[in-house]
């Protein structure tokens, strides 16, 4: 059986890959360093047009971050193939990072995290987009 070829490259692309500058970021939704890097990237995105800088965002998870995998699945489910929904909802999840990071969530179950994330996704989709 042949391995299926994805319809598009992995991750989310904001801008054109032929722009003068291409930045590829690997983000982990529970990682405080990813959050800081993402905050700095958002400042650059606001300063330069999509014709100047192409951003490629790749989601990843780290094994020591319990909620990261489920948060990543939630962001991908909400965003689908829409990079703007990805940026907006990932930004929302990053803003809530201190509420679901390992230490804050240690006395909660995975099911509780699923319910919490589903509520956030529902509220986010009801409100519309935040950044664009």
**Whole-number pLDDT of residue 2:** 79
Segments making up each domain of the chain, as ranges: 12-127
The pLDDT score that the predictor gives to residue 129 is 56
pLDDT for 57 equals 95
Separation between Cα atoms, residue 30 and residue 71, nearest integer Å: 8
The answer to whether residue 132 scores a pLDDT higher than 80 is no
Instruction: Please write the tens of the pLDDT for every residue from 14-54.
Output: 999 899 999 999 999 999 999 999 999 999 999 988 789 99
Specify whether the backbone of 54 is left (phi greater than 0), alpha (psi in -120 to 50) or beta.
beta
End-to-end Cα distance, the chain:
42
Per-residue model confidence (pLDDT) at position 6: 66
What would the two tokens of residue 32 be? 């405080």
What pLDDT does 21 receive?
93
CATH topology for 12-127? Answer: Glutaredoxin (3.40.30)
User: pLDDT tens for residues 78-131?
Assistant: 999 899 899 999 999 999 898 888 888 888 888 998 999 998 888 888 876 554
pTM of the shown model: 0.83
């Amino acid at each position: 059986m042949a391995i299926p070829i994805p319809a598009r490259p992995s991750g989310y692309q904001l801008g054109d890959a032929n722009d003068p500058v291409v930045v590829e970021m690997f983000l982990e939704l529970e990682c405080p360093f990813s959050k800081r890097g993402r905050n700095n990237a958002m400042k650059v995105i606001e300063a330069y047009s999509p014709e100047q800088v192409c951003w490629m965002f790749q989601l990843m998870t780290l094994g020591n971050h319990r909620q990261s995998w489920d948060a990543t699945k939630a962001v991908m489910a909400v965003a689908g193939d829409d990079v703007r929904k990805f940026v907006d909802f990932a930004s929302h999840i990053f803003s809530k990072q201190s509420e679901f990071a390992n230490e804050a969530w240690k006395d909660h179950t995975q099911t509780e995290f699923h319910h919490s994330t589903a509520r956030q996704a529902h509220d986010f989709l009801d409100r519309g987009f935040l950044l664009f």
